[in-house]
Amino acid sequence: MGTGSKVFSVILRLGELCSSIIVVALLSRFFYLTHLGPDGSVHGRLIYAEVISCLEIISAIILVFPYKYSFYAWPLDAIFFVCSIVAFGLLAELNNSCDSYWYYNYWGYYWGGFWTVAPRVNITAGVVDHAGCGSWRAILAFLFMGAMAWMLSAILGIFVFLEIREGRETHRTSTFKEKFMRKPNRAADPETQQ
């Protein structure tokens, strides 16, 4: 558990935290707009992504400090990686290009506030156009980036956990020199044997 692994761990945790906050903020805005509409019902996949992102925020805040317990939490990192990839897959399967029926009849309809213009049955793709498309793509992108940060954090946690378990943990600054810059064996040199 050297300085490099501690710094990398903090960077990954902050990345996880930021990506989860962005996903929660965008989905919360959509939930707010959905409840302003006349027949606002929220899709279950969106709720799943929101719940997973909220749990990730809590975990990232608790584990952001690079103590031993944060490296022992690598199974939690792996679980959040799987949950984030599942959320990404569920949302990407709904719509990944902003031109599907679901997009203009649900996401774009509520994000653009088109319930004030016409009932949902009269809304077409031409009316909605690309309202909220950037937000939808941002949700997908930050879900994926957060999942990759959780995966890298799990890999780093496994590496540090194995280092600690095998007793190779050290806090000395000369560890790098000892491992990678070993001096040649001087016993074989005839001048040094005298």
Give pLDDT, residue 35.
83
Supply angle C-alpha 94, 79, 64, rounded to 5.
110
- CA angle, 69 as apex, 53 and 63 as ends, to 5°? 30
pLDDT at 39: 73
Residue 155 CA, chain-centre distance (Å), reads: 14
DSSP for the chain, please give it. --HHHHHHHHHHHHHHHHHHHHHHHHHHHHHHHHHHSTT----HHHHHHHHHHHHHHHHHHHH-S-SHHHHHTHHHHHHHHHHHHHHHHHHHHH-SSS-SHHIIIIIHHHHTTGGGTS-GGG--HHHHTTTTHHHHHHHHHHHHHHHHHHHHHHHHHHHHHHHHHTT-----TTHHHHHHSPPPPGGG-HHHH-
Residue 88: domain span: 3-193
Give the sign of the dihedral formed by CA 29, CA 34, CA 35, CA 41: negative
Residue 12 amino acid letter: L
**For each successive 10 residues of the chain (194 residues), what is the average pLDDT?**
83 95 94 79 88 96 86 92 96 80 73 66 63 85 96 92 74 53 56 56
Structure confidence at residue 194 (pLDDT): 54
pLDDT value, residue 189: 56
How many structural domains is the chain composed of?
1
| Interaxial angle between packed helices 44-63 and 3-36, expressed in degrees from 0 to 180 and rounded to the nearest 10 | 150
Q: How far apart are CA 101 and CA 106, in angstroms?
A: 8
Please answer whether residues 112 and 132 qualify as being in contact, where contact means their C-beta atoms are separated by less than 8 angstroms: yes
Instruction: Specify the pLDDT at position 128.
Output: 65
